[in-house]
């Protein structure tokens, strides 16, 4: 009876270890929007227009949190109607930036951005180990008017990438000086922390030990 009980216990432990390993693997394998509702920091002067710009009607500055709330505006929405926008000719708005803190390290596999159509929008990421900003590239101007989604107006297609990041920094340059971001999404998976990797390693070791006991 003792041997049977011991064997039953080892099998139970093995099943628990296996469930743990599968749980970790499943968590790491699902690509999701890792920028969703993460903290956003605006640097510079936003929501102020030059005199007699002609864009006063409908001008509404959105809350910083709307840039990564997972909701796109309808394509061709007026560029400064609810987005995070700025006029680079206004004092204090020359070098504006938007930083999204992922609050952890992630392997990024895809990006989608919605922004004003007739400007270049630059993207950088903070490498979680090197702790330095690295340029991803920029979204070019696109045909259309107002807020347009890149890389595709279907608002689903991702621009495929591959890098590790803990933050994103968004800026804009050449164009008409009127810039706007309305949505930013980054898809990826968490990079396991050392403690998680240690737990996984112990689980594998324990499973191997249990298998030996069962064979005996």
Co-location of 91 and 170 in the same domain: yes
Average model confidence (pLDDT) across the chain: 85
Does residue 94 share a domain with residue 128?
Answer: yes
Q: Is 92 helix (H, G, I), strand (E, B) or coil?
A: coil
pLDDT at 194 (0 to 100) = 61
Instruction: Judge contact between 121 and 181, C-beta under 8 A.
Output: yes
Mean pLDDT of 132-142: 96
Quote the pLDDT of residue 30: 74
Q: Which residues, listed in sequence order, are joined to residue 122 by a DSSP beta bridge?
A: 138, 171
Looking at the structure, tell me whether residues 83 and 159 fall in a common domain.
yes
Average pLDDT (36-60) is 98
Do residue 16 and residue 83 come from a single domain? no
> Is the domain of 115 the same as that of 10?
no
Q: Which domain holds residue 203?
A: 2-29+195-215
Domain CATH for 51: 2.60.120.260
Share of the chain above pLDDT 70, in %: 76
pLDDT of 213 reads: 54
Q: Quick check: 142 pLDDT over 60? A: yes
Residues 185 and 121 in one domain: yes
Residue 175: half-sphere exposure toward Cβ, Cα within 13 Å: 23
Mean pLDDT, to the nearest integer, of 91-99?
A: 97
Task: Look at 23 and 57; give whichever has higher pLDDT.
Answer: 57
């Amino acid at each position: 009876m003792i041997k049977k009980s011991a064997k039953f216990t080892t099998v139970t432990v093995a099943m628990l270890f296996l469930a743990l390993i599968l749980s970790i693997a499943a968590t790491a394998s699902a690509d999701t929007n890792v920028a969703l509702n993460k903290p956003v920091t605006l640097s510079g002067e936003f929501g102020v227009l030059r005199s007699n710009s002609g864009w006063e009607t409908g001008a509404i500055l959105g809350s910083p949190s709307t840039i990564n709330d997972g909701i796109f505006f309808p394509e061709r929405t007026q560029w400064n109607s609810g987005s995070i926008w700025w006029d680079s000719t206004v004092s204090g708005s020359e070098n504006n930036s938007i930083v999204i803190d992922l609050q952890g390290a992630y392997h990024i596999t895809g990006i989608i951005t919605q922004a004003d159509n007739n400007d270049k929008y630059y993207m950088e990421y903070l490498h979680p180990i090197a702790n330095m900003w690295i340029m991803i590239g920029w979204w070019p101007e696109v045909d259309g008017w107002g807020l347009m989604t890149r890389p595709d107006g279907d608002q689903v297609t991702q621009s495929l990438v591959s890098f590790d990041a803990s933050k994103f920094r968004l800026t804009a340059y050449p164009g008409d000086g009127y810039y706007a971001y309305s949505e930013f999404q980054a898809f990826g998976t968490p990079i396991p922390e050392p403690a998680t990797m240690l737990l996984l390693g112990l689980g594998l070791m324990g499973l191997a030990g249990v298998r030996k006991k069962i064979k005996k």
